[in-house]
Amino acid sequence: MDTPLCKMYFYSYTCSSHKPRQNDYIFKMKDLERFSGKTGEKKAPAAPLQVLPQAQFVTITEEEAGQRIDNYLLRVCKGVPKSHIYRILRSGEVRVNKGRIDQLYRLNQGDVVRIPPVRVAEKQESTVPAAEFPIIFEDAHLLVIDKPAGVAVHGGSGVSFGVIEQLRAARPDAKFLELVHRLDRETSGLLLLAKKRSALNSLHDQMRDGLTDKRYLTLAVGDWKNQRQHVKLALHKYTLADGERRVRVQADGQASHTVFTLLKKFQEFALLEAELKTGRTHQIRVHLASSGFPIAGDDKYGDFALNKALQKATDTRGALKRMFLHAHQITFTHPETGKATTLNAPLAAECEKFLVSLGKPLN
């Protein structure tokens, strides 16, 4: 089959809500095909694009301050290729306070940013259902909710939306709302969100420096012996063929440390408090499974036959249809007041009900 000797591309970028003027010309592939007499295969239509043939000047707010200029542009110029963002930074088309800056520049409140004409994807009408979640704490800087099990914290990996998208839909006037950290989809409990960038940066710094204290309640399967046990196993992240992420113990992995305290011991289970000394992906789940005590209901690292059996109640216990892992306590320094803050979320009702069904603890 004949192939063209060259291809023609037409680029026009702009950051705005204005539509093309009547006299603007936009060439499409079908026009080129008509001119050449050849037809190509049909492609899915691209998202509508907005066009404005002039630069914009944006004043940085308190919520936007502190982030790098490249990350800011990638966020506000939706649909613009990353390579083009860095090109307009290198060329000096983006300016701050009338001066040239590089991609590492961090924005300050009151900075005036010149954004040259670039093309961005037109805002589509949101299809995310608005939702609020039980609030544990809220002020002008932070929002802390009690996330239910089965709800993702954000969209992606086959999930169209999560907690953050639903909260933004429920709070359309919120100027800033970002996840401080993440919880697995099947984990319930405390989830922190920042309402100001300064709060987000402060909490990220605290977590990076190990200054926060995060504790979980979990039900391990097996005959747990020790009242207090440290598990230090290096963890390595990898991806399955279908794109699903997993974690395994591996000598050259990231150093990981969890402290487990026995709270209640039952015939076949043990209720533990897990204290995170590091915050690796699936850390509690893999540390317990690799130690021979998988979490009840864990569909990735658990005892699959037992999990299936647990979904139906018996004469000696109730049913458990979720992973028994709950973020029940967190301590951090409030980013504004500087005071130590400890928050708690009661054990999820379905987990509490299952515990009661196990009867009197052995200890």
Most confident of 18-22, 34-38, 74-78, 88-92: 88-92
User: What pLDDT was estimated at residue 310?
Assistant: 97
How does strand 188-194 pair with strand 178-179?
Answer: antiparallel
Separation between Cα atoms, residue 263 and residue 343, nearest integer Å: 19
Query: Rounded to 5 degrees, what angle do the CA atoms 146, 294, 353 make?
Result: 45
- Calculate the CA 182 to chain-centre distance: 6
Is residue 119 predicted with pLDDT exceeding 80? no
Q: Name the token pair of 106.
A: 């961090």
Nearest to 200 by CA among 173, 177, 182, 216: 177
Fill in the DSSP letter of residue 41: -
Q: Which residue has the higher pLDDT, 57 or 18?
A: 57
Q: What is the CA radius of gyration of the chain?
A: 26
Does the pLDDT at position 69 exceed 70? yes
For residue 175, the model assigns a pLDDT of 86
Q: Mean of the pLDDT values across residues 299-305?
A: 96
Domains of the chain: 29-58+76-95+115-121 (no CATH), 135-357 (3.30.2350.10)
Tell me how far apart the 2 most distant CA atoms of the chain are, in Å.
83
**Residue 184 is a catalytic residue:** yes
Q: What is the pLDDT of residues 250-278, one digit of tens each?
A: 999 999 999 999 999 999 999 999 999 99
Kind of pairing, strands 269-276 and 213-221? antiparallel
CB-based contact 328:345 (threshold 8 Å): yes
For the ranges 44-58, 67-81, 96-110, 135-149, the maximum mean pLDDT occurs at 135-149
Which pLDDT band, with edges at 50, 70 and 90, does 157 fall under? Answer: low
Q: Predicted confidence band at 288 (pLDDT cuts at 50, 70, 90)?
A: very high
Place of tokens 């605290």: 206
User: Cβ–Cβ contacts within 10 Å for residue 318, how many?
Assistant: 15
Note the pLDDT of residue 123: 58
Alpha helices (H) along the chain? 29-36, 69-76, 82-90, 163-170, 197-208, 283-290, 304-310, 349-357
The pTM score is 0.73
pLDDT score for 39: 41
Non-local (6+) Cβ contacts of 326 within 8 A are 187, 188, 189, 216, 217, 218, 345, 347, 348, 351
Q: What is the pLDDT of residue 234?
A: 98
pLDDT of 57 above 60? yes
Q: What is the pLDDT of residues 10-47, one digit of tens each?
A: 444 444 444 444 444 343 434 433 333 444 444 445 45
Q: Name the catalytic one among 2, 24, 31, 184.
A: 184
Q: What is the pLDDT of residue 244?
A: 84
CA atoms within 13 A on the CB side of 75: 9
Gap between the Cα atoms of 82 and 78, Å rounded = 10
pLDDT value for 141: 96
Ranges assigned E (strand) in 95-140: 95-96, 99-100, 112-115, 120-121, 135-138
Examine the pLDDT at 97 and tell me if it is beyond 60: yes
